[in-house]
C-alpha cells in the first residue's frame, strides 16, 4: 500500500487490517457488496469505497458496481498456442 507519510501510523494500521478483512470476506464469499462491508466493518460507505479502490489498484480484488469480487487469477503454466504463435512471428 502506498500510504502517505503524513498519515499517522495508527491510521495506516487500521486501514491495513480493514483491507485484509475485506480480502478475507471477498475470498470466502466470491463477492461482497458495499453494504455488506459497511455492516461488517462498521465504517462509512466512503471508507469502503476508498479501500476497494486501493485494493483494486493493487490487483488484490476486482472492484465492481456495488461491491467487489475476487481478483482474476493469473494463469500458471505454459502460454496458449495462439499466444506463442504471435510471440514467435
pLDDT at 45 exceeding the cut of 60: yes
Domains and CATH numbers, the chain: 9-87 (1.10.10.10)
What would the grid cell of residue 46 be? Answer: 466512503
Indicate the DSSP class of residue 73.
Answer: P
Q: Give tens-digit pLDDT for 54-76.
A: 999 999 999 999 999 999 876 55
pLDDT at 88 exceeding the cut of 50: yes
How far apart are the C-alpha atoms of 31 and 61, rounded to whole Å? 9
Contact between 25 and 17 (Cβ < 8 Å): no
pTM: 0.72
Amino acid at each position: 500500500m502506498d500510504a502517505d507519510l503524513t498519515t499517522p501510523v495508527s491510521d495506516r494500521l487500521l486501514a491495513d487490517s480493514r483491507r485484509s478483512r475485506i480480502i478475507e470476506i471477498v475470498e470466502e464469499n466470491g463477492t461482497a457488496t458495499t453494504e455488506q462491508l459497511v455492516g461488517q466493518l462498521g465504517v462509512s460507505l466512503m471508507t469502503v469505497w476508498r479501500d476497494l479502490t486501493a485494493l483494486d489498484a493493487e490487483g488484490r480484488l476486482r472492484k465492481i458496481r456495488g461491491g467487489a469480487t475476487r481478483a482474476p487469477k493469473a494463469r500458471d503454466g505454459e502460454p496458449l498456442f495462439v499466444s506463442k504463435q504471435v510471440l514467435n512471428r
